[in-house]
Structure 1
Amino acid sequence: MADLLWDDVSSFFDPDLMGSLPDVRVPDASVEDWQAVLDLVVEKGWKFQYSEGETVLPVPRAETALSRPADAECADLRVWLASDVLAIFRFLDDEVIDFDVDLRELQGQERLDVFCGFLREIGRRLGKPVLMDPEGDYGHPVLGFDVEADRVVLLAEPLVM
């Protein structure tokens, strides 16, 4: 059974309402949590690419990626959940694992299921919530992985369209 039904949550995936790049995050994280996510990506066999600026490099240990100088090129990890569904992790803060997804790639039940599965995998591995906020509205999650429920749940009322 799907965590969420597209007909119930489609407004949360409307780029015009939510912004095309919502903020997805794991709060109260640590360097160890970042490393667990890197290990999970490899274990699951998801296609990925690590880069610093325009330079593609092998994936370093999390502590290395997070300890780069403040003026260094931005480090990111691109993870393809499916051939045309991309999550981009940015190594900005060891206390929050954050990544972007493009809502234009997450249209329909099948894509929603892929996305929810990804949030579940991360949440289960870390034993922590994984939250999605509208773009630019940090701290007001609309949905996320709930550790106790062991599934992705709504955290706000969907907008009526």
Structure 2
Amino acid sequence: MEWEKVQLAFEWDGSWRDIYVLDSSLDDWQRLLDFLRTSRYNLTFKRASVEPIPVHAAEAFGGPDDVRPLLQIDVDGIVVNSHFFAKEEIEFDLDPREVEVSADAEAVFEFMAGIGRALSKPVILTPENMSELALIAYDPATDELQKLREFGGLL
């Protein structure tokens, strides 16, 4: 996608951007972790301290309620986080200020497409906590990314 067409999706407005795979299951989380483990991305998994990435996705949802796990993924210098909020929804967040040029956006889009291919599910980029407002979407049926709407500045 051309940078000029997607640049506003990453304009800083005080909020982060989210990447979602909606209507997910524990099996989807497992396929996601399997994909990430074999990907080129550097991964860091933390609870109270750095730990090995769980072999089984269910392990990420276990443990004390007051210590939510954090998976950090280095996507070509852009830090993408997952907090394992819910089994029914895979959610990542990223700071849009880290997406400064076309190559950064392409790295994020490649990450989204990789997840979509691994799970055979749509993947969307949205404003923070707005899963109903997809800005960019990956469609596994067509293996393409599509810009869905303009976004920029404060909502």
TM-score normalized by the length of structure 2: 0.90
Q: Give the residue type in structure 1 aligned to 2:25.
A: S
Cα-Cα RMSD: 1.7
* TM-fit CA distance, 1:137: 2.9
* TM-fit CA distance, 1:158: 5.1
Q: Give the residue type in structure 1 aligned to 2:113.
A: R
Match of 1:34 in 2: 29
Seq. identity, %? 30
- 1:2-41 pair list within 5 angstroms: 4-16=1-13, 19-41=14-36
Instruction: State whether residues 14 and 103 of structure 1, in contact with CA within 8 Å, keep that contact through their aligned partners in structure 2.
Output: yes
Q: Does 1:76 align with 2:70?
A: yes
Instruction: State whether residues 11 and 152 of structure 2, in contact with CA within 8 Å, keep that contact through their aligned partners in structure 1.
Output: no
User: How far apart are the structure 2 equivalents of 1:79 and 1:107?
Assistant: 18
Find 2:112's aligned residue among 119, 122, 145.
119
Instruction: State whether residues 20 and 104 of structure 1, in contact with CA within 8 Å, keep that contact through their aligned partners in structure 2.
Output: no
User: How far apart are the structure 2 equivalents of 1:147 and 1:57?
Assistant: 32
* TM-fit CA distance, 1:138: 3.3
User: How far apart are the structure 2 equivalents of 1:94 and 1:136?
Assistant: 16
User: How far apart are the structure 1 equivalents of 2:6 and 2:36?
Assistant: 27
1:64-103 per-position Cα deviation (integer Å, ceiling 9, x unaligned): 112334x230101001011x21110111110100010111
Match of 2:98 in 1: 105
1:3-48 per-position Cα deviation (integer Å, ceiling 9, x unaligned): x1111111111012xx441121100111111111111111113111
Long gaps (5+) in structure 2: none
Find 2:60's aligned residue among 49, 62, 65.
65
- Detail structure 1 runs of 4+ shifted over 6 Å in the superposition: none
Q: Which moved more, 1:55-64 or 1:149-158?
A: 149-158
Q: Does 1:131 align with 2:131?
A: no
Long gaps (5+) in structure 1: none
- Give the count of matched residue pairs: 152
TM-score normalized by the length of structure 1: 0.87
Instruction: State whether residues 21 and 135 of structure 1, in contact with CA within 8 Å, keep that contact through their aligned partners in structure 2.
Output: yes
Instruction: State whether residues 50 and 59 of structure 1, in contact with CA within 8 Å, keep that contact through their aligned partners in structure 2.
Output: yes
